[in-house]
Amino acid sequence: MSKPRNSASERNVTIKDVAREAGVSAMSVSNVLNGRGRISEATANHIREVVQRLDYRPSVAARRLRLSQQWTIGMLIVVEDPDFLSDPFITTQVTGLTNYLTANSYSLILRGMKPSDFRTTGLFQDIEADGMVAILSGEQEQREWFIRELSGLRVPLVLLQEERLPEKADCAIVRQDDFSGGRQVGQHLLSTGARTCWVLIPQVEWAAMRARKAGAASAFSDAGAPDLEIIRCGDESFDVTYEATLAALRSGSAPDAIIGGNDQMAIAAMKACMDFGLAIPDQVQITGFNAFEIWRYVDPVLTTVRSAAHAIGERAGAELIERLQVGHFRKREITLPVDFQVGKSTLPSS
Amino acid sequence: MSKPRNSASERNVTIKDVAREAGVSAMSVSNVLNGRGRISEATANHIREVVQRLDYRPSVAARRLRLSQQWTIGMLIVVEDPDFLSDPFITTQVTGLTNYLTANSYSLILRGMKPSDFRTTGLFQDIEADGMVAILSGEQEQREWFIRELSGLRVPLVLLQEERLPEKADCAIVRQDDFSGGRQVGQHLLSTGARTCWVLIPQVEWAAMRARKAGAASAFSDAGAPDLEIIRCGDESFDVTYEATLAALRSGSAPDAIIGGNDQMAIAAMKACMDFGLAIPDQVQITGFNAFEIWRYVDPVLTTVRSAAHAIGERAGAELIERLQVGHFRKREITLPVDFQVGKSTLPSS
DNA sequence: CTGAAAGCGCTTACAG
DNA sequence: CTGAAAGCGCTTACAG
C-alpha cells in the first residue's frame, strides 16, 4: 500500500485511534460525535474526553465519500473582468449566499471565469459540489454554453439575475425586479418634468440592464413622452462610460435626464456632464441603480434604486438547500422587490 | 448496506462501470485518465471513448480520501461587517488568490466571520483544506484566538497583511509595504508646503493603518515638521468618518492636509471639508490609500497609493502551493511594494 | 447499549 | 502492457 503523502509529518488520528484508546468500537465514537444511536452517558463522556485529548478531527473526505454528500455549493462567476469581484452587486450576492450557507453548515467553493472562456473543454469535469449557483454574463450563446456545462454536472443549479429559465429541468432563477425599478425611475423623472432622456447601457447587455431600460421606457411610453435614447457604452467601466457620455454631449443637445444602467455608470455620466459645464440636477438630472456604498460618495447624492443583492444570494442558498432536501425546486422563478430612493441628483417631484 | 442518498436519481457511473463497459480493469481506466502507467494507445483510445459515451465523472471525494490531498485552500475573512466582501482591498486579494488557485487546479473555499465570533467553539473542527489563508482584523486578543484555531487545523497558514509573525511554525505572512506608502504620502505633503496634518484612523486599528501612519509620521519627523494629529474614527465607514472629520473641523482650526487611512475615509473627509466650506486642495489637501476604482469617482481626483492587493492574493496562493510541495515555507515574511500616485486633491510639489 | 462487517470510489504498489 | 488486492476513514444496516 501507499504511504499517504499527507502534509502533516505524523499520521492523522482517525476514528479508529480514538476507538482503540477509549476501548470501544469505531461506530460508538461515530455515534457519539453525530448524536445518533443509543449510547450510555458514561461511555459517551469517556469518548468525548478521548476525542478532546487526542484532538481528533474527522476526515470530511471520508465522510463525504461514505455519504455521497459534499455539504458544498459551488459558485461560478462569469464576467469579463479578471478581477471578478470588483462589482459590488456581485460581491453582495456572494456574501449573502456565503452567509446563508455557513449558517447552514455548507461550504462555498468560489470560482471566476470569463465569458470568452466558453468552449474551453473539461472545465467542470469533477463533481465536488452538491449544487451550483452561477452569475452569468456575455452573449446569449456563451451563457447557454455555460448553462449546458453546468447541467453536465448533474446537480441542481440556481441562476442569479438570469432572464429566461433554461430548458434544463433541475434549475431555478433568483432575480430582482429590475423592470419595476426602472419603471419607478422613469415615473420619478417624468414627475420632475423631464421629457428627453438618455439611457446608458453597456455593449454586452445584461438581462438586468435590459429590464431596467424596459421599465423606464414603459413609464415614458405610458405618459406619451418621447422615446428614451439609448447610449451604448463599450462596457460599464468608469472611463468608457465617461467618454461615451462626453461624446454624446458633444454631438447633440443635452437631455433633461440621464439614466445610468447602474450607479457606476451614472457617476461617470455625472462627471462627464460636470466637466462639460452642465449643472446637476438643474440642467441634467441623473439616476443610478443599485445603491451600494459608492452611490453617496458623489456630490450631489445619487437618486438610485436599492437593489436586493444580499437577499438574492441568501435566497439562492435557501432554495438550493431546500431543493437538496426535498428533491425538487419548489419554485423555479423568484423575483425579489427593489426599493427606489430619491437623492439630490434629480429635481424634486412637482 | 446503505443506499447512498445521492441527489441524482440514477446511480452515478463509477470507474468500475467504465472498466466493465470497456472490458478492462479499473486501474487501466485510472491510468488513462491520469496519464500514468503504460497503456497501449489502442486500449487508451477505447477507454477514452467509453468515458465519453458514459459521460463518466470521477468522484473527487474518493480521490481525495485515497490520496489524502484535497486540492483545496480555505480562505477566512474576519471583519466586523457581515457584508464581508464590501471592502475592495479584501475582494481584490480574494480575486488574486482565487485566480492563482484556479490556474493551478486548486479550489477555494470562502468563509466570512466577525472578530466577535472568537471563542465560538468548534468553528474549525473539520479538515477540508490543504492549507488556509486568512485576513484577520479586530483586537490583538481576538486575532490571536483565530490564529490559534487555525493552527489547530494542522495545515499551513498564510496570513495576509498581518504585522507580526505568530509563534506557530507552519505559517507565513504576505503584506504590502504600507510604511513606505505612508512615508511617500508624508514626503509629498511636505513638498507641497503642508505643515499641520491630521491622520484619520479607525478605532480598531489594522496593522496596515498603523504602518501607514507610522510611515507618514517618520517623514514629518525627519523634516522637523509638527507631529501628525490622530483623528480617531469609530470605524472606517463613510458616515462615521464624515462625522468625525466634521466634529474635528468644528472644534479647532483646519489642518493643511488630511491623510485618510484608506480611500474611503479620504473621500468622506473630503466631503466633510467641502460641506464645511473648505476648498480642496487649496485650503485642505487630502490623500487616500489603495487606489481602487472609487478613488477617481471623486472630484478632485484623489492623491493616493496604489496597493498591491491582487499581487498579495496571488503571492499567498503561490507560497502556499509551494509550501505544500516542498514541505516548508521558503520565506516566512513577504512584503510587496506599493505605488504612490499624485492626483488633484493635493497641491503640486514646489 | 455495543460491535463486526461491508462498502462509498478511487489509486498505489505489486504480480503476472 | 494489464489486473487482483488492499486500503484511505468514515457510517449504515444488522446482529448480538
Nearest neighbour of A102 by CB, restricted to B68, B111, B156: B111
For residues B150 and B117, the answer to whether their CB atoms sit within 8 Å is no
A191 touches strand C (CB under 7 A): no
Residue of B nearest to A156 (CA): B7
Residue B22's H or E segment, with its range, is helix B15-22
The CA distance from B189 to B287, in Å, is 9
- Which residues of chain B are within 8 Å of residue A4 when distances are taken between CB atoms? 67-68
B109 touches strand C (CB under 7 A): no
For residues A14 and A51, the answer to whether their CB atoms sit within 8 Å is no
For residues A130 and A71, the answer to whether their CB atoms sit within 8 Å is yes
- Residue B10 or A219, more confident: A219
Where do runs of H (alpha helix) occur along chain A?
15-22, 26-34, 41-54, 60-67, 88-103, 140-152, 178-191, 207-222, 238-250, 263-275, 309-326
Q: Which nucleotides of C are covered by protein (CB under 7 A)?
A: 1-13
- Which of B12, B60, B325 to mutate: most A Cβ within 10 Å? B60
**Structural domains for chain A:** 8-58 (1.10.260.40), 72-176+309-337 (3.40.50.2300), 178-307 (3.40.50.2300)
The CA distance from A150 to B325, in Å, is 31
Up-side HSE of residue B278: CA atoms within 13 Å toward CB?
24
The CA distance from A241 to A289, in Å, is 15
**Listing from the earlier edge strand, what are the strands of the sheet with B107-113?**
A333-336, A171-176, A157-160, A131-135, A72-78, A107-113, B107-113, B72-78, B131-135, B157-160, B171-176, B333-336
Share of chain B above pLDDT 70, in %: 93
Residue B49's H or E segment, with its range, is helix B41-54
B195 touches strand C (CB under 7 A): no
Q: Do A61 and B61 touch (CB under 8 A)?
A: yes
According to DSSP, the residues that pair with B259 across neighbouring strands are B199, B287
pLDDT value of residue B7: 40
Q: How confident is the model at residue B203 (pLDDT cuts 50, 70, 90)?
A: confident
One-letter amino acid of B336: L
The CA distance from B202 to A140, in Å, is 45
Strand, helix or coil for residue A285: strand
Residue of B nearest to A69 (CA): B6
| Residue B269 cell numbers, joined | 473627509
Q: Give the pLDDT of chain A (350 residues) as one tens digit per residue.
A: 333 333 444 567 888 888 888 888 888 888 888 887 677 888 888 888 898 898 888 888 999 999 989 999 999 999 988 889 988 899 999 999 999 999 998 999 999 999 888 776 556 666 689 999 999 988 888 888 899 889 888 899 999 999 889 887 799 999 999 999 999 999 999 999 999 999 999 987 778 899 999 999 999 999 999 999 999 998 888 889 999 999 999 998 999 999 999 998 999 999 999 999 999 999 999 999 998 876 667 778 899 999 999 999 999 999 999 999 999 999 999 999 999 999 999 999 87
Shortest CA distance to B128 belongs to which of A49, A322, A173, A108? Answer: A108
Q: How confident is the model at residue B322 (pLDDT cuts 50, 70, 90)?
A: very high
What Å value separates CA A88 and C1' D2? 55
Question: What phi and psi, each to the nearest 5 degrees, are found at residue B183?
Answer: -65, -40
- Which residues of chain B are within 8 Å of residue A67 when distances are taken between CB atoms? 4-5
Q: How confident is the model at residue B10 (pLDDT cuts 50, 70, 90)?
A: low
Nearest neighbour of A70 by CB, restricted to B61, B84, B294: B61
Shortest CA distance to A161 belongs to which of A307, A265, A291? Answer: A307
Is the backbone peptide bond immediately before A88 cis, with ω within 30 degrees of 0?
Answer: no
Query: Which of B169-178, B179-188, B291-300 is the least confident region?
Result: B291-300
Nearest neighbour of B102 by CB, restricted to A70, A98, A111: A111
The nt closest to B3 (CA vs C1′) is D12
Indicate whether this model's pTM tops 0.85.
yes
| DSSP string computed for B201-251 | EESS--HHHHHHHHHHHHHHHHTTPPPPEEEEESSSSHHHHHHHHHHHHHT
pLDDT value of residue A284: 97
- Which residues of chain B are within 8 Å of residue A297 when distances are taken between CB atoms? 238, 264, 267, 271, 294, 297-298
* The pairing of beta strand B157-160 with beta strand B171-176: parallel
What Å value separates CA A100 and C1' D8? 32
Q: Do A61 and B65 touch (CB under 8 A)?
A: yes
- Which residues of chain B are within 8 Å of residue A126 when distances are taken between CB atoms? 57-58, 60
